[in-house]
Amino acid sequence: MSELTQTPALSQPLRAESAAYGFHPPSQAELMAELGLKSRPGWTSRLPSGLAAFVTNGKGMVGVIILLALILTALFAPLLTSYDPNRRAGKPHVQPGYEHVMGTTRMGKDVFTQLVYGGRVSLAVGMGAGLAAAMIGLALGISAGYFGGRTDDVITFFVNVVLVLPGLPLIIVIATMVETAGPMVIGLVLALTGWGWAARTIRTQTLALRAREFVLAAELMGEKKWRIILIEIFPNMLSFVMGGLVLGTIAAILAEAALEFIGLGDPNAVTWGTMLYWGQKNLALQSGAWWEIWPPCIAIMLTGAALVLINFAVDEITNPQLKASRKIGRIRRFLSRRGRSADVF
Amino acid sequence: MIFLARRIAFYIGAFFLAVTFNFFIPRLMPGDPSARIIASFQGRLNESQVEAIRKSYGLTGSLWEQYITYVGSILRLDFGISTVQFPEPTASLLFYGATWTLVLVGLAIFFAFIIGSFMGIHAAWHRGGFFDSFFTPINVMLNAFTPAIVALLLFYAFSLQLQWFPLGRAHSTSISPALSFEFIGNVLYHATLPVLSIFLVSFGGWHLGMRNVMINLLNEDFVILAKAKGLSDRRVRYRYVARNAILPQITALALSIGFLLGGALVTEQVFNYPGLGKFTFTAIGSRDYSFIQGQLLLLTASVLVANLLSDIANVILDPRLRT
């Protein structure tokens, strides 16, 4: 970086011109300051390019940090609280204070304890279901796109059916038929109903990749089909799989909370959704016990926001035009200060 | 027209898959609905009584006969008898609830799609500007705040604390339903908060979708040519770019209706609104299977109709499909 920041030696005619107009060409450091650009820290260049693009994306990193913080508090729950999430820990509806950081529920259970332990289940179910849905989508999407023909027709039909059937009402039917829908059952159902979008985007991408020369070359070399899929096509799909994973996780966490909130889950499990369910059932808001409702709400909102930020980063990496558009305001101002038209952008 | 015919064939197929799913799920589960009722009599029923109960649930005869009877009754809009509001037929409850749900979802989609799309057009046109870099992430984050939470927040702030809006119901009990300004005004007043909460969690999606599609279109040759011809900004923005960007949005709109209906189910629960969600909630509590299955079929049918409408809209807007 350092040798680049020095002003390059100017050619003779240009120097004469700039002297005539009293104009000094700006150094690269000045230009970068004017465009609001910072040079990347050196260690990012040693990372693989995909990871480097992610690490240098501000929004994405904020999301990763929030998500990591939530995961860590859930993992280290026993160290953060000495109460048992399933047992009465004090009088009902104690206000937040020294004894109970976030107060107690109407049953006298400690809200903070339930929040950190509930995070374990909610995050695990959400991420597990998101991962499973992304994997199903990946497998079906690549097979449909690569094999084509009859396979493609059949898979595309099922993808469209899954996309068209309304998710929550379908899950309601399954969950009521199962005697008690614990978090595992809910996660499984969400995984089985949530792979539509991932399969569709990955199929489209595979169709585009299949026509490219490197896949043709591998086919002509007589490589096996599974090897072409795994070695040639799959690495180019990683960012789409990431996108599917993030979107699937958002959908699963929100759907799990919604299902448990309307009373379809196992009411004895401690999750963010069942905390909301009990709060609503015990009329916590109406009786002024806001601390029973807001902590799980804020936890779910933070998780959603973090995943959305990560998804923004993934979007910008897969679609560079979106990333370029972020800087375009500064570039326009830069050009218009120099009297150039910025209309072409 | 071949395009539309193929889509209609697909929708009929999808609907029958939902019907088949509804038929097999209770029969695959260990305890079917009739077993629960029979068990509640603790063996005091004789053989013919058990048979009668099983027959009323359509559980007699071979599987194929049962299936034919089931499909036949669905096509006659006969969803069975509700066990909660006995002996009200499930179908009339379903349609009563669906009317109110449609009011909520219809209003919310209308505002969310129009406002979200215009925000997306604005953000894409001035991409990288303040509006784009500030509101795009905020709106999309709102999208990830599940309807349950937004509804709870609004309910707490405006119904409980400020008491600007009612605590429940679709209209005041003192006003009888009629096509008068007073009644419609009252319904809109009661619908404001539920509609607002569905609106808040959905318009960010239209904003982001419109913005991303528009940004990819802005570098296309036809846009540059339109600008080079000296057409006004407005004309390029709406007639050239937005018209092309709206096509995938309309398809996405139809597909999102299932998600919005799900959101409405939860929102109604918070606002005690007498739509499908409220009834479904009661049905879940008392294991009223005919209603729970009915709501799936009704919602599936409405999503399919919405998809068909979006296909027709696509044919009208996109001349390439008119072959």
Of A120-129, B24-33, B42-51, B249-258, give the lowest mean pLDDT range. Answer: B24-33
Asked if residue B133 lies in contact with residue A332, where contact means CB atoms within 8 angstroms, the answer is: no
Instruction: Categorize the per-residue pLDDT at A127 as very low, low, confident or very high, splitting at 50, 70 and 90.
Output: very high
Residues of chain B with C-beta less than 8 angstroms from the C-beta of A277 = none
Inter-chain contacts counted by CB atoms under 8 A, chains A and B: 175
Among A163, A169, A286, the residue with its CB nearest the CB of B255 is A163
Q: pLDDT tier at B118 (50, 70, 90 boundaries)?
A: very high
Inform me whether the pLDDT recorded for B101 exceeds 80: yes
At residue A135, the pLDDT reads 92
Q: What percent of chain B has pLDDT over 70?
A: 87
Pick from B127, B143, B260 the residue to mutate for testing the A interface (most A CBs within 10 Å): B127
In this complex, which of A164, A262, A315 lies closest to B266 when CB atoms are compared? A262
Q: Is B280 on the interface with A (CB under 8 A)?
A: yes
DSSP-derived letter for residue B90 is H
Which residue on chain B is closest to A284 by alpha carbon?
Answer: B156
- With an 8 Å Cβ cutoff, are A164 and B277 in contact? no
pLDDT mean over B123-128: 84
Mean pLDDT taken over chain B: 81
**pLDDT higher than 90, residue B193:** no
A169 in contact with B, Cβ within 8 Å: yes
How many Cβ atoms are within 10 Å of A89's Cβ, its own excluded?
Answer: 22
- pLDDT at residue B72, as a whole number: 82
What average pLDDT does the segment A264-284 reach? 82
The CA-CA-CA angle for residues A226, A232, A233, to 5°, reads: 85
Q: Testing the interface with B: which of A173, A197, A303 to mutate, by most B Cβ within 10 A?
A: A173
Q: pLDDT by residue (tens digit) across A242-263?
A: 888 988 898 888 888 888 887 7
Residue range B241-251: average pLDDT?
Answer: 86
pLDDT digits (tens, 9 = 90+) for B207-218: 888 888 888 888
pLDDT higher at A175 or A1: A175
- Whether the predicted pLDDT of A345 surpasses 60: no
pLDDT of A290 > 60? The answer is yes
pLDDT at A12: 56
Q: Facing residues of A104 across strands?
A: A110
Model confidence at B184: pLDDT above 90? no
How close A1 gets to chain B, by Cα (Å)?
26
Asked if B265 lies within 8 A of A262 by C-beta distance, the reply is yes
Q: Please compute the mean of the pLDDT values over residues A174-186 and round it to a whole number.
A: 78
pLDDT higher than threshold 70 for residue A175: yes
Is the model's pLDDT at B308 over the cut of 60? yes
CA gap A218, A221 in Å, rounded: 5
Between A88 and B215, residue with greater pLDDT = B215
| Whether A279 contacts B148, CB under 8 Å | no
* Share of residues in chain A with pLDDT > 90 (%): 10
Provide the pLDDT for residue B252: 84
Q: What is the pTM of this model?
A: 0.79
Nearest chain A Cα distance for residue B224, angstroms: 8
The three state secondary structure string of chain A is: CHHHHCCCCCCHHHHHHHHHHCCCCCCHHHHHHHCCCCCCCHHHHHCCHHHHHHHCCHHHHHHHHHHHHHHHHHHCHHHHCCCCCCCCCCCCCCCCCCCCCCCECCCCCEHHHHHHHHHHHHHHHHHHHHHHHHHHHHHHHHHHHHHCHHHHHHHHHHHHHHHHCCHHHHHHHHHHHCCCECHHHHHHHHHHHCCHHHHHHHHHHHHHHHCCHHHHHHHHCCCCHHHHHHHHHHHHHHHHHHHHHHHHHHHHHHHHHHHHHCCCECCCCCCHHHHHHHHHHCCCCCCCCHHHCHHHHHHHHHHHHHHHHHHHHHHHHHCHHHHHHHHHHHHHHHHHHCCCCCCCC
The pLDDT, as a whole number, for residue A11 is 52
A341 touching B (Cβ < 8 Å): no
The verdict on a CB contact (< 8 Å) between A166 and B303 is: yes
B218, B124 Cβ separation under 8 angstroms: yes
Contact state of A327 with B146 under an 8 Å Cβ cutoff: no
Model confidence at A5, pLDDT cuts 50, 70, 90, reads very low
| Residue scoring higher pLDDT (A90 or A61) | A61
**How much is the average pLDDT of B89-110?**
84
A257–chain B Cβ distance below 8 A for any pair: yes
> Of A118, A115, A116, A123, which is closest to residue A292 (Cα–Cα)?
A115
Å between A87 CA and nearest CA of chain B: 25
Q: For residue B284, is pLDDT > 70?
A: yes
Question: Do residues A114 and A85 lie in contact, with contact meaning Cβ atoms separated by under 8 Å?
Answer: yes
Question: In chain B, which residues have their Cβ closer than 8 Å to the Cβ of A322?
Answer: 212, 215
Instruction: Find the mean pLDDT for residues A62-73.
Output: 91
CA A63 to chain centre: 8
Q: Residue range A21-33: average pLDDT?
A: 74
At A266, list the tokens. 């196992």
Q: What is the mean pLDDT of chain A?
A: 80
A311-325, B36-50, B154-168: range with lowest mean pLDDT: B36-50
B41 vs A15, which has greater pLDDT? B41
Please answer yes or no on whether A177 and B29 come within 8 Å at the CB atom.
Answer: yes
Structural domains in chain B, CATH included, are 99-278 (1.10.3720.10)
Does an H or E element contain B58, and which?
none
Average of per-residue pLDDT across B225-236: 88
pLDDT one-digit tens code per residue, A190-225: 888 888 888 988 898 888 888 888 888 988 998 888
Is the pLDDT at A132 greater than 90, yes or no? Answer: yes
B20: which residues sit within 8 A by CB, 6+ positions away? B67
Q: Calculate mean pLDDT across residues A299-319.
A: 86
A263 and B262 within 8 Å at the Cβ level: the answer is no
